[in-house]
Structure 1
Amino acid sequence: MRETNPWVNQYIRWGISIFPLKERDKKPILSWEEYQHRHPTAEEIQSWVSNGHRNWGAVCGAISGNLVVIDVDKEELFRELNLDDFAKETFTVRTGKGYHIYLRVDSPIRRKSLIWDGKEELRFQAEGSYVVACGSLHPTGKEYTHYDGSPVEIKKYSVSILEDIEKRWKRYHNLDKIEEKRKVIKESTTRGKDLEEFKRKVGMKLIEKYVEPKRRYYNYWQGLCPFHDDHNPSFTVYEDTNSWYCFGCQKYGDIINFIQEIEHLDFISAIKKIEDETGIEFFSREKDEETGEEKKKISHATLAEIILNMHHFITLRDTEEILWWDGKKWCFNGETKIKELCQRIIEEIGKMEKATNHIVNETIGYIQRRTYIERYLLNSNKRKIPLLNGIYDLETGELLPSSPDFFFTYCIPVEYDPSADCPKIKNFLKQILHEEDIPVLLQFIGYCLIPEQKFHKALMLIGDGANGKSTLISLIKRFLGPSNTTSISLQTLLENRFAVANLYGKLANLYADLPDETLKHTGLFKMITGGDTLSAEKKFKPHFEFEPTCKLIFSANKVPRTLDDTTAFFRRWILLNFPNKFEGDNRDPYILEKITTPEELSGFFNLVVQHLRWLLEKGEFIENKSTEEIREDYIRKSDPVRAFVMDYINQGRIIENPDAYVSKDELYAEFIKYCKKIKLPVPDKSVFGRSLKSVLPTIGETRKKIGGEMKRCWKGISLDVPKDEEQSEEEEWF
């Protein structure tokens, strides 16, 4: 007689619906579905027991008190998911290959399988399923036994415990990251209504023509990525959201992006390719009334959605100006870009020869209404610098990928190379400047890289012609980028109401050879350098308000005089003197090309950023003069001849006497020494002569015999410089 199962009565006491299975098998000997809805009668059980049935099935689900059996086959999974903790709390059976963990939940659930690499790894046996009961025999002959250490009772849990176990399983296989990425990618790949409907109809089946599925799950599958050398399936297709993501190369998109990428097509061509491959059309058709020819039809809304998927656009709420993303920065000619795209798309889909004004204007309006942002978002990230090969993070030193999300309207035309140097630029700066002035210049150029007026400073480069000022201005312009700079004189800025609008979004205003015109109204200059809110307008455009971040850099032979004698004006200036001349053999006509190679500019960026960090850490420029010192320096540099005469008269070095005279060459040489000693610009000899007459109107000109030679002289003054001082100055300067 066959041995009966000793656990049958225990299952009955637990209220579990049971039925007999085939001997040493998992299959029922009868139709078991009715026992999902009723318990077997005592007579049925007695009959089955008397027939000596050893193998029994335990029905899961509501009929057995919302019984759920966690069915796991792998020992490793049992340990890694900490299921052994449950085995200590509730009845658990050791199966042929794994475990059955019995528990009851507070609400009924359907059976669920967790599949990895095409195989069921973990099952929640619930409504609609059964398990082989304890005491039965596995087909291998091994008995289903009570797991040592587990109680002979079935504990009740919240159904959320199963969700927790599923999360553990997903973490075990890194599927939690796949699920998380699914949500992000879905949001990133959502398009307009018409395109979403097209994607829904097409689905993701077309991708299987290019990528073979290696692993399938509920609503996504994985294969080897076609976009990089992939050996472990990392290319993930989310069929329920019509999107894909590669965990290896981080590329992502939808079916349109995929076809664009793998077939090297633009957006419109990719849609056409999908139409050809699937037979599903995106563009509807209409018949031409004149020719009877059937042509593709497109609405302005669909046209706008296509354009929005080809390029990024934003619209400034205050002026309704449209900007478009060129891959490195936001550009202001967005409306022109849309017009160009409208014509191209309509021609490519074969609707008509040209885009009508009506559909173009409707498309522009649609894009504007979809893309409004506030102006303050532009260039608001003050510690990141957009470069050709990425976004440089000033705080961490990292190079981040370029992204429209930073809202930069400029890009420095330089590639970041942490190992680059700029020996030619360094040598050039040593030739044109006093060595102690180089650090403050580098700090100011670095200051131009951050969109803020934190230090309330402007820069004036001073010196007569052929001394490197214009070359330095050109170097800075090429470094920052011509499109990121403007060139407006200080006088024009202060007097032309439209001029200030040209500063918006620029890094620097670089103006060479500032005219020698007196500055009468300097309020706007102080507002610009102070970063105060300005109201600006462009011709035939609405006015707008902005906080200026454009740095002001001017060069001049002589600092312009000013009627503003306030501290607020003078403390804003950094004045740098250019003491040397480069003429004849000393002049290199190709110097600019030599110092603006890509390698030199990359090295210059490293040098400038180093000095910018010092500036930000210290909170002030290296040249930290008092306001009174700056005032005196400015006044002297605005009229160096007057400063020379007044100083020398006060010191008794120039003596006014109607009968006295001094050689013009001797006086000019003394003037040069004076200027170099206190870093003043040196005007040429003719300018010096004209200025001297305006300062000393009583002097005249004459010729005198000096040292046996006839020399041109100034009459009415004499020069008295001690011999020992004259000698020391000659040694110092010459």
Structure 2
Amino acid sequence: MSDVDLVEEMHDTLEANDEDPMTLLDHREWPYILAEWYDSDEFEDKKKYQKVVNYINWRLVDMRRDDFDDQIESVVAEIQDDEDSQSIHEMSSSEFFREFTWNDMPDRQIAYFCHLWCKENAQIVFSNGRIFVYDGDIWVNEPKRVAKILQGLLRAHYGKHVKEEFLDGYVSVNDAYQVDWNEMGIGGPRCVVENGILNLVEGEIERETRPDDYALIRFPVRWEGMDAERDRWSNEFLDRSVNDGDLQKLQEFAGYCLHTHNYPYKKALMMLGDGNNGKGVFEDVITAAIGPDNVMNYGLRDLSGANFGLQRLQNTAVNINSDIEGNEITRTSAFKKLTGRDRFKVEPKYETPFEIENAAKLMFAANRIPDVDTDDLAFYSRWIFVEFPHRFTTRDDDGYFDADPHIAETIIEDELSGVLAWMVEGYQELCEQDHFTGEMEPEEVRTEWSHLSDPTVTFIRNFVTDGHPGEEGDPLEGRMTVSTLYQLYQRYMATTPVSPVSKQKLARSITNRFEAETVSERRGPDNDDVARVWDGVFIPHNKREEIRELRTESL
């Protein structure tokens, strides 16, 4: 609360109590605030005091104006008597403790003296309804640090009520602590790392941080230059996990997470692929590079409500979530606000509500794309898809890539500076082209979303045709076998991040759409071989070629 708001609050209180000046004098903090204004050499402070006393019609109350001023002067004298040996702000914490007789002093006076010391010596600010303390590099929202400062000043005389008097009566209302939220957070294409402020465009450390940078986020990685070692990260993990086209998008979005002050590109990342395909390794390594304290793991449902947990978004770099509730997105309007530079209301439990504009980047992972019931193109325009198409296992000769169960741990231990350099490179590429690689039009995203939500249905709709090969002039000899059609289906599904359904389930889906069935057919020169074939459907030659081309492109 600013001093202007405080004057108005005093006015409202007087109005509600028949302008009785005792409501001001009996308040736990206001006599000391009024005394500070009364005794100040600043014109604006004296103006505030005069405005408050002018709210009172002195002819209609029991107290005379002179008597009220005398009461305030006595508070001034009380404070000055305790300050006569040395100005409070010039004392060390030990001198401050020894200077006063604390036993008989009321909590509100103790809080006032703490305020006089802290406003010059303790690095505390109040912004957007929250208290921040400087930790040497960044400002952290940890009110317990304020308690430690007061404990250092008061020792055994510290108590909960003193802290409340200090926070409510001074930190939250006094101009000495107020910082506009727009000034909080390091601006521009910069971030804080272990060894200073990193310029993301230049790829160089600018300098060490200062309190007036008002930085809120520090990444727990040392900057070692753009050439920092990342061989295992790039060659042994990324190149084996993600195809080239998607890898560029993934790198750009990872770099985007380093831009913590705002949300200039209205995009969220959706990583897709069945289990054991590298998504978890990617999340673990990126979380380590950004720092667990700078990462949230909320689902869209949690991010959609104005609950107290959303306040963490104010100093969070990225929200990474791997569990979309019910595999369904229902609150699309909230998602658009979070990615669209809109302000929204946060209602912390037991605290004053406030508004924020989200800067935390949103990253989601799913085995298959979640269901969504909307045609809103603004929703679809927000998404970037990255597929993790390969499966990794520790079993030999099972047809899958060999997994290294310790690769995330090794990369985090040995190559985190290299991962940071890889992210910075992605950020630079994003800024240079001013958009993400391979951005699709919203209509294309909607089509792709529908396709990915159930690729089996898409396969049947786009490739399976009713009829018989011979009747349609197809070079296929005889009816298409169940195994051949299923193999084509498997090839197609290998181009998506979703595992194929069983042969039996595919057959049921086909018979639900077409008047077709599987039957036994004798084959071979002597008709001594029996095969299950499709009677009523097949995949035409040109469609078979299309599937082969899709599979080749995916590789």
Give the structure-2-normalised TM-score: 0.70
- Residues 187-586 of structure 1: matches in 2 within 5 Å? 268=93, 271=94, 283-284=98-99, 286=101, 299-307=110-118, 311-316=122-127, 318-319=128-129, 321-334=130-143, 336-347=144-155, 352=156, 355-364=158-167, 365-368=169-172, 369=174, 370-379=176-185, 381-396=187-202, 397-418=204-225, 419-427=227-235, 428-450=237-259, 451-494=261-304, 500-515=310-325, 517-585=327-395, 586=402
Do the aligned partners of residues 196 and 489 (structure 1) sit closer, same or farther apart at CA in structure 2, a change above 3 Å counting? same
SS across alignment from 1:455:
coil
Do the aligned partners of residues 641 and 724 (structure 1) sit closer, same or farther apart at CA in structure 2, a change above 3 Å counting? closer
1:638 equivalenced with 2:449 (yes/no): no
Whether contact under 8 Å (2:137, 2:210) holds in the other structure is: yes
Deviation at 1:575, TM superposition (A): 0.6
The residue number in structure 1 matching 2:491 is: 673
Deviation at 1:533, TM superposition (A): 1.5
Whether contact under 8 Å (1:662, 1:717) holds in the other structure is: no
Deviation at 1:197, TM superposition (A): 7.4
Whether contact under 8 Å (1:516, 1:558) holds in the other structure is: no
Structure with higher strand content: 1
**Alpha-carbon distance in structure 2 between the residues aligned to 1:434 and 1:535:** 40
Whether contact under 8 Å (2:488, 2:547) holds in the other structure is: no
Amino acid in structure 1 at the alignment position of 2:228: A
- Residues 149-188 of structure 1: matches in 2 within 5 Å? none
Deviation at 1:607, TM superposition (A): 2.1
Moved more, 357-366 or 524-533: 357-366
**Alpha-carbon distance in structure 2 between the residues aligned to 1:706 and 1:508:** 60
**Alpha-carbon distance in structure 2 between the residues aligned to 1:332 and 1:602:** 27
Amino acid in structure 1 at the alignment position of 2:150: C
The residue number in structure 2 matching 1:220 is: none
The residue number in structure 2 matching 1:682 is: 498
**Alpha-carbon distance in structure 2 between the residues aligned to 1:537 and 1:651:** 58
Deviation at 1:505, TM superposition (A): 2.4
Do the aligned partners of residues 655 and 367 (structure 1) sit closer, same or farther apart at CA in structure 2, a change above 3 Å counting? farther
1:628 equivalenced with 2:443 (yes/no): yes
Q: 1:613 aligns with which of 428, 439, 443?
A: 428
Per-residue CA deviation, residues 537-595 of structure 1 (Å, 9 max, x unaligned), is 22232221111111111111111122222321222111111110001241211111111
Ranges in structure 1 where 5+ consecutive residues have no aligned partner: 1-191, 202-253, 257-266, 273-280, 290-297
Asked which structure has the greater RCO (Cα within 8 Å, sep 6+), the reply is 2
1:603 equivalenced with 2:418 (yes/no): yes
Whether contact under 8 Å (2:306, 2:347) holds in the other structure is: no
Whether contact under 8 Å (1:462, 1:556) holds in the other structure is: yes
Whether contact under 8 Å (2:494, 2:551) holds in the other structure is: no
Do the aligned partners of residues 482 and 198 (structure 1) sit closer, same or farther apart at CA in structure 2, a change above 3 Å counting? farther
Moved more, 565-574 or 439-448: 565-574
**Alpha-carbon distance in structure 1 between the residues aligned to 2:552 and 2:359:** 45
Deviation at 1:717, TM superposition (A): 4.5
Do the aligned partners of residues 358 and 613 (structure 1) sit closer, same or farther apart at CA in structure 2, a change above 3 Å counting? same
Ranges in structure 2 where 5+ consecutive residues have no aligned partner: 1-78, 396-401, 473-477
Whether contact under 8 Å (2:384, 2:439) holds in the other structure is: no
Deviation at 1:444, TM superposition (A): 0.7
Sequence identity (%): 25
Do the aligned partners of residues 682 and 341 (structure 1) sit closer, same or farther apart at CA in structure 2, a change above 3 Å counting? same
Do the aligned partners of residues 629 and 344 (structure 1) sit closer, same or farther apart at CA in structure 2, a change above 3 Å counting? same
**Alpha-carbon distance in structure 2 between the residues aligned to 1:391 and 1:287:** 43
1:593 equivalenced with 2:409 (yes/no): yes
**Alpha-carbon distance in structure 1 between the residues aligned to 2:139 and 2:307:** 26
Amino acid in structure 2 at the alignment position of 1:301: Y
**Alpha-carbon distance in structure 1 between the residues aligned to 2:230 and 2:82:** 51
The residue number in structure 2 matching 1:67 is: none
**Alpha-carbon distance in structure 1 between the residues aligned to 2:215 and 2:222:** 16
**Alpha-carbon distance in structure 1 between the residues aligned to 2:81 and 2:509:** 78
SS across alignment from 1:323:
strand
Deviation at 1:421, TM superposition (A): 2.5
Do the aligned partners of residues 550 and 285 (structure 1) sit closer, same or farther apart at CA in structure 2, a change above 3 Å counting? closer
Whether contact under 8 Å (2:192, 2:218) holds in the other structure is: yes
Q: How many residues are treated as equivalent by the alignment?
A: 449
Amino acid in structure 1 at the alignment position of 2:498: V
SS across alignment from 2:392:
coil
Whether contact under 8 Å (2:266, 2:340) holds in the other structure is: yes
Amino acid in structure 2 at the alignment position of 1:360: K
Per-residue CA deviation, residues 608-664 of structure 1 (Å, 9 max, x unaligned), is 21221221122111213333332222221121111111110369999999x97743x
Moved more, 469-478 or 300-309: 300-309
The residue number in structure 2 matching 1:30 is: none
Whether contact under 8 Å (1:516, 1:559) holds in the other structure is: no
Deviation at 1:666, TM superposition (A): 4.4
Amino acid in structure 1 at the alignment position of 2:189: R
Whether contact under 8 Å (1:515, 1:560) holds in the other structure is: no
Whether contact under 8 Å (2:466, 2:536) holds in the other structure is: no
Amino acid in structure 2 at the alignment position of 1:302: F
SS across alignment from 1:429:
helix
Do the aligned partners of residues 363 and 608 (structure 1) sit closer, same or farther apart at CA in structure 2, a change above 3 Å counting? same
**Alpha-carbon distance in structure 2 between the residues aligned to 1:582 and 1:287:** 67
**Alpha-carbon distance in structure 2 between the residues aligned to 1:374 and 1:724:** 62
**Alpha-carbon distance in structure 2 between the residues aligned to 1:346 and 1:324:** 19
SS across alignment from 1:464:
coil
Per-residue CA deviation, residues 348-396 of structure 1 (Å, 9 max, x unaligned), is xxxx4x5233322223333332312222222251322011211112355
Per-residue CA deviation, residues 665-684 of structure 1 (Å, 9 max, x unaligned), is 6444322322344xx21225
The residue number in structure 1 matching 2:61 is: none
Do the aligned partners of residues 701 and 486 (structure 1) sit closer, same or farther apart at CA in structure 2, a change above 3 Å counting? farther
Moved more, 688-697 or 425-434: 688-697
Whether contact under 8 Å (2:252, 2:423) holds in the other structure is: yes
SS across alignment from 1:596:
helix
Do the aligned partners of residues 652 and 625 (structure 1) sit closer, same or farther apart at CA in structure 2, a change above 3 Å counting? farther
Per-residue CA deviation, residues 461-503 of structure 1 (Å, 9 max, x unaligned), is 0111111112112222111111111112234434676665443
Amino acid in structure 2 at the alignment position of 1:434: N
SS across alignment from 1:504:
helix
Whether contact under 8 Å (2:308, 2:349) holds in the other structure is: yes
SS across alignment from 1:314:
strand
Do the aligned partners of residues 525 and 359 (structure 1) sit closer, same or farther apart at CA in structure 2, a change above 3 Å counting? closer
**Alpha-carbon distance in structure 1 between the residues aligned to 2:487 and 2:182:** 55
Do the aligned partners of residues 421 and 337 (structure 1) sit closer, same or farther apart at CA in structure 2, a change above 3 Å counting? same
**Alpha-carbon distance in structure 1 between the residues aligned to 2:178 and 2:553:** 64
Do the aligned partners of residues 314 and 563 (structure 1) sit closer, same or farther apart at CA in structure 2, a change above 3 Å counting? same
SS across alignment from 2:384:
strand
